[in-house]
Amino acid sequence: MEKTGFRLPILATALAAGMGALFGAAPSPAPAREERIVPGDGDARALRHIVEKRDETWGWQRLMGVQLTPHEASAARSGSPAYRRWVLRLWERRAYRAWMQAHDPPHRADWLCIHRYEGAWNDPDPPYYGGLQMDTSFQRTYGPELLRRKGTADSWTPLEQMWVAERAHRRGRGFYPWPNTARLCGLIEQ
């Protein structure tokens, strides 16, 4: 009897390659190569893939600043192989959806317009860093985990910089941290 496998989404790999050129290498949700999960290959391998997809989903959700999808690990461990395959497919779909949402931040065109007048995405000159020229206080307030893990905004991907700016926008700051460039982009009144 021939074993059949479940393929991870190939579309996600193609999209990651195309978006990576524009936004740099963010947490990579798409697999670098196609992997096969063959039923009967072992519980440890299936559980490892479930955890990888869960962590990938949570990484994108943390970047977007949204609530993490809950996960009951003991159910996957104690369930049948068919149940584990179902859980894996569920987390694959969640990871793909989170990846798609993360790569299309709200106000993306506005952030790109502000960036056009500000600096290079990797601008390391203090006191303002990155393509949206964020100072360390701004980074500490709206992107503390990125600041702690990667350093200042010039080390972040453009996507990460836009999501940190989006967090500030959502918390009521709007586009006012960039008063001159936001006016040039028509985002705030003259």
For residues 146 and 59, state if they share a domain: no
pLDDT digits (tens, 9 = 90+) for 104-148: 999 999 999 999 999 899 999 999 999 999 999 999 999 999 999
Evaluate whether residue 169 is within a structural domain: yes
Angle between helices 10-23 and 81-102 (to 10 degrees): 30
For residues 143 and 77, state if they share a domain: no
CA distance 105 to 163: 7
Domain end, chosen from 62, 86, 102, is at 102
Average pLDDT over the chain reads: 82
For residues 138 and 92, state if they share a domain: no
For residues 83 and 31, state if they share a domain: yes
Evaluate whether residue 66 is within a structural domain: yes
For residues 12 and 95, state if they share a domain: yes
Evaluate whether residue 141 is within a structural domain: yes
pLDDT digits (tens, 9 = 90+) for 152-190: 999 999 999 999 999 999 999 999 999 999 999 999 986
Decide: helix, strand or coil at residue 6.
Answer: strand
pLDDT above 50 for 19: no
pLDDT at 131: 96
pLDDT digits (tens, 9 = 90+) for 31-72: 434 444 444 556 788 889 999 999 999 999 999 999 999 987
pTM value > 0.85: no
For residues 148 and 89, state if they share a domain: no
pLDDT at 132: 96
Domain end, chosen from 74, 102, 130, is at 102
Evaluate whether residue 189 is within a structural domain: no
The DSSP bridge pattern shows strands 6-7 and 36-37 to be antiparallel
pLDDT at 82: 87
Total count of domains within the chain: 2
CATH number of the domain where residue 175 is located = 1.10.530.10
For residues 119 and 96, state if they share a domain: no
Q: Which domain holds residue 33?
A: 6-102
* 173: nearest Cα among 142, 150, 151, 128: 142
Give the CA dihedral 162, 168, 173, 176, nearest 10 degrees. -30
